[in-house]
């Protein structure tokens, strides 16, 4: 299982500001190992989804060009303080991770 994600979700008026830090190596498959000279296999997040109270608000396809431990920030109009945000990702090797937070 992957390391936990960190999510912070706050309200500013009628807009929820969601910030997510995802722990992942994000290997492109083109970097060589300094000791062996062999290519490090590709290992990257390929899809990120977010829901608020079960309703989808974000679906993103990303790839190896994104840096290690990606940061994702997005804003959603309409939720209320106390609503639940769930963020999930899947990587190219089938690993999955999810985390949730309450909008404050």
Residue 13 lies in a domain: yes
- Residue range 69-87: mean pLDDT, rounded: 97
Whole-number average pLDDT of the chain: 96
Instruction: Look at residue 29 and tell me if it is in a domain.
Output: yes
Residue 52 forms part of a structural domain = yes
- Give domain status of residue 1, yes or no: no
Segment (H or E) for 17: strand 15-21
Tokens coding 69: 């431990």
Tell me the two tokens of residue 93.
């090797």
- Confidence (pTM): 0.92
Report the side by side order of strands in the sheet with 71-77.
6-12, 15-21, 71-77
Q: Give 4's pLDDT tier (boundaries 50, 70, 90).
A: confident
Question: What confidence tens digit (pLDDT) does each residue in 40-76 have?
Answer: 999 999 999 999 999 999 999 999 999 999 999 999 9
- Which structural domain range is residue 62 located in? 6-102
CATH code (residue 43) = 2.60.40.10
Number of domains present in the structure of the chain: 1
Q: How far is CA 60 from the centre of its chain?
A: 9
Indicate whether 98 pLDDT > 80: yes
């Amino acid at each position: 299982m992957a390391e936990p994600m960190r999510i912070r979700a706050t309200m500013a008026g009628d807009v929820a500001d969601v910030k997510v830090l995802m722990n992942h190596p994000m290997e492109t498959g083109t970097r060589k190992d300094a000791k062996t000279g062999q290519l490090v296999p590709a290992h990257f997040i390929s899809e990120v989804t977010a829901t608020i109270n079960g309703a989808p608000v974000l679906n993103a396809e990303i790839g190896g060009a994104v840096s290690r431990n990606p940061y994702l920030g997005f804003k959603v109009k309409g939720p209320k303080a106390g609503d639940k945000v769930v963020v999930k990702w899947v990587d190219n090797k089938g690993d999955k991770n999810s985390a949730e937070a309450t909008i404050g």
